[in-house]
Amino acid sequence: MKNAQTEVILELTKKMNFLFGPNAIKTLDVNLKSDNSAVTEIDLFVSNLIKEKILNHSVYKSYSFFSEEEYDQLTFPSAILDPIDGTRELIKGRPECAVSLALMKTSEIAAPENYAWIYNPFSGFSLDSSIPFVPSSNKSQQKILGMVSRSEFEKGYFNFLLDIDPKIEITPRGSIAFKLALLASGACDFVLSLSPKNIWDIAAGSVLCSARGIKLYQNGVEIKNLNEINMKGMLLWAPDQFAEDLWIKFKNEKEKRMSESR
């Protein structure tokens, strides 16, 4: 896939320069889909470009293509694509969006045959399954850094965590795929989301994190397979040493608020 990734990066960089570079020659085309979510010409360009690369690949041409911009039934093996995760950030020109591609032989997140790639078209940050990972040294005495969505952060959903545990720091970032790539690269300790996520949002990031010993939890229960298109509840990506404690804190806070509202 490395050659295909390089070709996508080159083509996408040219397109981005036309739209966002210092000598931009046009503005970004944005339309609304039937669910009122935004879709841009970049979303469609990347979806079509990567579909072409998949269809011409000796191994992955037999995979079903499941893109946010083109999908039917979820079947495996599958090429699961979010051409641009973080479309709102893209529209704003904020460098917090990402191409997110998971090539999954089965629905099992930890399956060794799976391959994932996440790429930020603004910064050039790129992470894929072929890149070796060296675990960092013991961080038990350091701050625990989590990344969350900007909208959930601004609504104060995580303020209680900061109040009850001085070791926790929370940083807002756009795009769940980009956050998961940062987590897999060692830039933070956990990623937490309270809003529903589609499989194309999280497949590649979950595969990359899994290879580094970082698991996905839904309401405190480890998720080992991605076989549903949409996931709801508290979604947490974290290593074992943080996961249970964070879930207990959230569960206790939820019960406390329910008790206070009675």
**Binding site as annotated, residues:** 68, 82, 84-85, 201
**DSSP, res 155:** T
Task: For residue 38, report the phi and psi dihedrals to the nearest 5 degrees.
Answer: -85, 145
Counting beta carbons within 10 angstroms of the beta carbon of residue 41, is it exposed (0 to 12), middle (13 to 18) or buried (19 or more)? Answer: middle
Binding residues for Mg(2+): 68, 82, 84-85, 201
Range list of H helices, the chain: 2-20, 41-55, 87-92, 150-154, 159-164, 176-184, 199-210, 240-261
Is 42 strand, coil or helix? helix
Measure the CA–CA gap between 193 and 139, rounded to whole angstroms.
23
